[in-house]
Structure 1
Amino acid sequence: MEMLKRAIYGPDPAEQMRKCNSLLRKNERQLEKQVTSLAGLESKTKSMIKQAAKRGDVSSARILAKELYHVRQQRSRLFKSKAQLQSVGMQVREAFAVRKIQGSMKASTGIMKDVNTLVRMPELSGTMRELSQELMKAGIMDEMVGDTLDGLDEADDTMEMEADAEVDAILSEITGGKLGQAGAVPDSVPAEAEEEEEEEADLDSMRERLRALQS
């Protein structure tokens, strides 16, 4: 009987809305989990920078400051994505409310734009694709085309250039102005002492965690 009703009248709007809301909440929890992980990375990196500064190890401190810059950039991107996701949620609820009153659904270009951005995020790719399918079934958005965000590589290059300019400010902020002189960040940290080797291992571990969050 239920299958016959769906064949005649289409999917139940209330059921569609519940599924969309469930997927939206799932995506938001995923973002919050990533933000929490990044907060832990930031706290640990700050501590490592202070330790390096205390030893007078400027090269290690600068490498760590650059890693901290990337952590903060990633966190900022996640906050922006969370705001986009919340916007999608509000627009979806509004679309279903209009459908309930008017009996029809109009595709939303605003939702489509936000979803098309969010679905490209590694952290949300799977669940956002599932959500986009549900939104297309409900008629809230049309089928997406894969021609957006072509400028991501260029944006990444710009971020790398900005990172060097931000390192001094980060060092000054964390060390109370004791470190923060301009200069290129070296590719590796001298490992002359056991303490430096341990810090390098911690840094490698931190980089792996950051890469895991981004992939």
Structure 2
Amino acid sequence: MQSLKAVFFKPDPAEQKRKCDQLIKKNVRAIDKDIANMRNLESKTKSLILSASRRAERNPAHAKQARQEARLFAKEMVGIRRQSARLYTSKAQLQSVNMQVNEAFSIRKIEGSMKISTGIMKDVNSLIKLPELTGTMNELSQELMKAGIIEEMVGDTIDNQTLLDDEEEAEAEVDAVLGEVLKGKLGTISQDLPTLPADEEEETPEQREADLEQMRGRLEALRS
């Protein structure tokens, strides 16, 4: 029955546009949620760096371990910030797709025909590669193909490059994060380090490890 309808009845442009708008809004909400999660992760990581510096100040004998922990947390923050930047870029691309789709349907309403948009194809193809959006972006691409806005796209291999692919660059970013969080007092974490507020309780090693594992788990969930 559906196939017969497809043969004798053309899709309703208004309905097609509604479906596209719904899918775009769904993807924007998903990105906004991930951005908020990244913001929370960054705040938590900053607290962990400061906590490591406080432990080093209180017990110089553990300064080396605290320094290693602080760098590990700073490296996590670099990854979080890179992920956040990618999400903001993706949101901008999605907003661009939304504007171009609206323009395409407006032109169709005036001229009575739809034109293929290579710009939308490029943005959609890029967004489909994001693990967070693959499912709904595939749905959107199907609707855009039905509407005649894009042609069928050949799926590229997803780029699985790590967030910290350049070790030299990553180390420089780690140093920058430590300098930022520790107010430039990076010389040695065992001396003259900023302390956390007096009313903040000291975490046990088990709590610190649990916090780190939870943070990594949430970050990995967003990446996968």
- Shorter-chain TM-score bucket reads 0.7 to 0.9
Unaligned 5+ segments in structure 2 are 57-65, 189-202
- Deviation of 1:156 after TM superposition, in Å, equals 5.0
Task: Name the Cα RMSD after superposition.
Answer: 2.3
Comparing 195-204 with 8-17, greater Cα deviation is found at 195-204
Comparing 197-206 with 87-96, greater Cα deviation is found at 197-206
Q: Greater relative contact order: 1 or 2 (C-alpha under 8 angstroms, separation 6 or more)?
A: 2
Matched residue type, 2:112: G
Matched residue type, 1:30: A
Residue-pair matches, total: 201
- Deviation of 1:198 after TM superposition, in Å, equals 2.3
- 1:168·1:180 contact (CA, 8 Å) conserved in 2? no
Partner of 1:67: 76
User: Whole-Å Cα distance in 2 between the matches of residues 127 and 6 of structure 1?
Assistant: 23
SS of corresponding position for 2:69: helix
- 1:27·1:124 contact (CA, 8 Å) conserved in 2? yes
User: Whole-Å Cα distance in 2 between the matches of residues 180 and 163 of structure 1?
Assistant: 19
Matched residue type, 1:70: G
- Asked if 1:11 is matched to 2:11, the reply is yes
Matched residue type, 1:122: P
SS of corresponding position for 2:110: helix
Partner residue of 1:158 out of 165, 172, 175: 165
- 2:79·2:164 contact (CA, 8 Å) conserved in 1? no
- Deviation of 1:205 after TM superposition, in Å, equals 1.2
Q: Which contiguous aligned blocks of 4+ residues in structure 1 show a shift greater than 4 angstroms?
A: 2-6, 153-157
Partner of 1:39: 39
- Asked if 1:175 is matched to 2:175, the reply is no
- 1:23·1:127 contact (CA, 8 Å) conserved in 2? yes
- Deviation of 1:118 after TM superposition, in Å, equals 0.2
Partner of 1:105: 114
Partner of 2:125: 116
Unaligned 5+ segments in structure 1 are 182-193
Matched residue type, 1:93: N
Q: Deviations over 1:35-60 (max 9, x none)?
A: 01111111111011011011222111
Partner of 2:215: 206
**When the two structures are superposed, what TM-score results if normalisation uses the length of structure 1?**
0.86
Partner of 1:80: 89
User: Whole-Å Cα distance in 2 between the matches of residues 115 and 108 of structure 1?
Assistant: 11
User: Whole-Å Cα distance in 2 between the matches of residues 36 and 24 of structure 1?
Assistant: 18
User: Whole-Å Cα distance in 1 between the matches of residues 3 and 104 of structure 2?
Assistant: 25
- 1:95·1:105 contact (CA, 8 Å) conserved in 2? yes
User: Whole-Å Cα distance in 2 between the matches of residues 13 and 161 of structure 1?
Assistant: 52
- Deviation of 1:165 after TM superposition, in Å, equals 1.6
Q: Which has more radius of gyration?
A: 2
**When the two structures are superposed, what TM-score results if normalisation uses the length of structure 2?**
0.83
